Amino acid sequence: MDTAAAAASAPEADTRREAIRVEDLHKSFGNLEVLKGVDLTAHQGDVVAIIGGSGSGKSTMLRCINFLETPSSGKIVIGGEEVAMRSDGSPANQKQIERIRTKLAMVFQQFNLWTHRTLLENVIEVPVHVLKVPKAEAVARAHELLNRVGLGGKEGTYPAYLSGGQQQRAAIARALAVDPSAMLFDEPTSALDPELVGEVLTVIRDLAAEGRTMLLVTHEMKFAREVANHVVYLYQGRIEEQGPPAEVFGNPQSDRLKQFLSSVA
């Protein structure tokens, strides 16, 4: 797409490169329709916070973007490349989806580190085996990343011997190791003890500050308000309200959002 032309036709349009675009995304589990047509665009450098009550479809939406969940219908465009889908929503080209997934690093609520591998092995696993980076290079980078998230010296430790906060920081190092074009955070602090939430948020805040593109499903409203430049409120599978955090949090329009914000405050 010619960005200049787009900007001319729609003066308010964002001229930064588009990272993730979701169009009319639907997802049903059996008879239960969890997503009822969601549209979302994230440009490079955007930090999009996705908030909403439990069952609002926010995690499902995130998981549809990298096809961990197969969408029922809709369109997903990553870095300008549309994911080819069959009529039932499953990816038509497994190679394409595998290639796209390597650019989208996911951080899970339950960390999902590989428990039979040390932290270092967890971080170099994808660079070495999927991206075919020379091992020495991957190891050097892994040391750097583990240092960065405050886990220098824990390279040889297995995940089970670490606290939840440490595991999640290691999972973030694993995500950074693939040099992703966008990061997907699926409630990264929800499984943590309250005193461990801060250390993980600090790492995410740093990443946001260096201009990484992130989609962040979270329950931490204060944090969302602070790091996001765009906030999306999902209610029962639809986007009820979205906008800059100051607007969404400071001046909510819909009654549901008002009620939601007062219930979590």
Site for another protein, rule CB under 8 A: 66, 68, 94, 98-102, 104-106, 108, 110-118, 125-126, 129-130, 158-161, 178
Cα 217 to Cα 4, 54, 155, 162: the distances in Å are 32, 11, 28, 24
Is residue 117 within 8 A of residue 111, CB to CB? The reply is: no
CB atoms inside a 10 Å sphere around CB 124: 25
DSSP string, 10-30: STTS--SPEEEEEEEEEEEET
Least distance CB 217 / another protein (angstroms): 14
Is residue 164 within 8 A of residue 191, CB to CB? The reply is: yes
Least distance CB 15 / another protein (angstroms): 30
CA trace torsion 79, 82, 84, 85 (10° rounding): 110
**In the chain, where do the E strands start and end?**
18-29, 32-43, 47-52, 73-78, 81-82, 104-107, 182-186, 214-217, 230-235, 238-243
Least distance CB 163 / another protein (angstroms): 9
Least distance CB 252 / another protein (angstroms): 33
Least distance CB 97 / another protein (angstroms): 8
For another protein, give the closer residue by CB, 69 or 240.
69
For another protein, give the closer residue by CB, 58 or 257.
58
For another protein, give the closer residue by CB, 100 or 248.
100
For another protein, give the closer residue by CB, 37 or 79.
79
Identify the helix (H) or strand (E) that includes residue 46.
none
For another protein, give the closer residue by CB, 81 or 98.
98
For another protein, give the closer residue by CB, 120 or 248.
120
For another protein, give the closer residue by CB, 85 or 257.
85
Question: Which residue carries 């997802």 as its tokens?
Answer: 27
Least distance CB 32 / another protein (angstroms): 20
Least distance CB 130 / another protein (angstroms): 5
**In 55-147, where do the E strands start and end?**
73-78, 81-82, 104-107
Cα gap 70→67, rounded to integer Å: 5
Q: Which residues contact 208 (CB under 8 A, 6 or more apart)?
A: 47, 214, 227, 228
